[in-house]
Amino acid sequence: MLAPWGGLTRPTWNILTEAVPSHFSIQPTEGELGRRSPLLKKLYIGNIPYTCTDQDLSEWFTQAGYSTQSVTILRDRATGQSRGFGFVEIGNDEEADRAIASLNGKAFMGRALVVNEARPPAPRGPGGRGEGGGRERRGGGGGRYRD
């Protein structure tokens, strides 16, 4: 059967109206929020020296006895300079908890690192850059005094 716009129609199926078995949860658990994978645990690493590279941080974790799945130091888009923090993903919860306990406050390239479990990203509001806030914009007045 052809649709009015010339395309083929297909039966509509709305997953939101279908019954979902009670043992199946669509919502992530609190521990899974902010994770790329339920098997990886993401750690926040703060107070990173600006001269540090992803490779330097990865090697430091390896020397401390922890295997990392990924290491990302956030950088300024315009200058490419480190923003002084990043994220490390570790393969399981137990190893990540041990890394937090043993590495938080340890010296790395002359600075004491902050190592915590990463929090899920804050929800963003509508709009893009530069939206919201600021004062209300109204038209300017004339140059003449009125009674």
Confirm whether 132 is domain-assigned. no
Confirm whether 97 is domain-assigned. yes
The C-alpha angle 106, 114, 77, rounded to 5 degrees, equals 125
What pLDDT, on the 0 to 100 scale, is given for residue 14? 47
Q: Tens digit of pLDDT for each residue in 37-69? A: 667 999 999 999 999 999 999 999 999 999 999
Residue spans of alpha helices (H) in 3-53: none
Strand ranges inside the chain, DSSP E: 41-46, 68-75, 82-90, 107-108, 111-112, 114-117
Confirm whether 7 is domain-assigned. no
Confirm whether 39 is domain-assigned. yes
Range of the domain at 90: 34-117
Cβ-Cβ contacts under 8 Å for 17 (sequence gap 6 or more): none
Confirm whether 21 is domain-assigned. no
What is the mean pLDDT of the segment spanning 100-106?
97
Tokens of 133: 């806030």
Confirm whether 126 is domain-assigned. no
What is the mean pLDDT of the segment spanning 117-133?
76
Domain count, the chain: 1
Confirm whether 130 is domain-assigned. no
CATH of the domain at 97: 3.30.70.330
Q: Is the dihedral of CA 33, 36, 39, 42 positive or negative?
A: negative
Confirm whether 27 is domain-assigned. no
6-15, 78-87, 105-114: range with lowest mean pLDDT = 6-15
